[in-house]
């Protein structure tokens, strides 16, 4: 079963962050990815640019309203994610506990649209 681990943290412009800080964060995620590989868990993931780079689409009658920025103002924003393929929620939570946590991780099952 597939689960998405959504990683929340305060917006950080990693392009302007000190190299030492960026390297430390990347090392934590490299260690996490290695642990998943060691356990044979299929996964993918990406880091996201700050929420200020988002563009939001919302229904507006028969049209679509396009606005710059995130939908809501938050202290923490979706900063990245991992998609993991595990047997059940218990294993997904076990895996999430190994992941580097900034402000929080939301674990959510993914719809199986293949049938």
Tokens of 43: 């996964």
- CA angle, residues 31, 34, 35, in degrees to nearest 5: 90
Cβ neighbours of residue 18 closer than 8 Å, sequence gap 6 or more = none
Q: Which of 32, 30, 24 is nearest to 97 (CA)?
A: 32
Mean pLDDT of 40-47: 95
Mean pLDDT of 43-56: 87
Residue-wise pLDDT for 89-114, tens only, equals 999 999 999 999 888 999 999 988 77
What is the band of 71 on the pLDDT scale with cuts at 50, 70, 90?
low
Domains of the chain: 2-48+77-109 (3.30.70.1060)
pTM of the model: 0.85
- CA angle, residues 90, 93, 95, in degrees to nearest 5: 110
């Amino acid at each position: 079963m597939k689960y998405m681990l959504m990683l929340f943290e305060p917006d950080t412009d990693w392009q302007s962050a000190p190299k030492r800080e960026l390297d430390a964060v990347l090392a934590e995620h490299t260690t996490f990815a290695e642990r998943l590989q060691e356990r044979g868990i299929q996964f993918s993931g990406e880091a996201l640019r700050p929420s200020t780079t988002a563009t939001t689409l919302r229904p507006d009658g028969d049209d679509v309203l396009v606005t710059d920025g995130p939908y809501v103002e938050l202290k923490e924003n979706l900063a990245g994610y991992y998609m993991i393929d595990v047997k059940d929620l218990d294993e997904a939570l076990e895996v999430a506990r190994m992941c580097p946590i900034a402000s929080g991780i939301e674990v959510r099952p993914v719809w199986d649209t293949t049938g």
